[in-house]
Amino acid sequence: MYKSVCPGHFYGNNVDIRHIIVPQNTGELKVKEMATKKANYASGLKKCKVQLLQKYLMSIEAKKSYMGLTSLRFDGDSIIMPEVPEREISER
């Protein structure tokens, strides 16, 4: 879970709290980099600041699946970002 603060398009700041799902052993710097990229993409800006809030391990046990399940994104976010090869991210 992270908090992002992005400059508003007209005035003030947009503050948002979001979740990001990463592999279990991902380092904090990498998580912060990924969260910043996601916040920048969501805001359409490149000046967002991110603060990590909570790290947790979550497990889900399916009991029954319904047809609408296939339309959900499981990263807990409604922002669809273009895929960037891992190599390109690590070169930045």
How far apart (Å, rounded) are the C-alpha atoms in residues 73 and 71? 7
Q: What is the pLDDT of residue 40?
A: 93
Q: Which burial class, exposed, middle or buried, applies to 86 when counting CB atoms under 10 A from its CB (0-12, 13-18, 19+)?
A: exposed
Q: What is the pLDDT of residue 59?
A: 81
Q: What is the pLDDT of residue 68?
A: 80
Spans of the chain below 50 pLDDT = 89-92
Q: What share of the chain is helix, strand, coil (3-state, %, to 5)?
A: 30, 15, 55
pTM of the model: 0.63
Q: Where are the domains of the chain?
A: 2-56+63-81
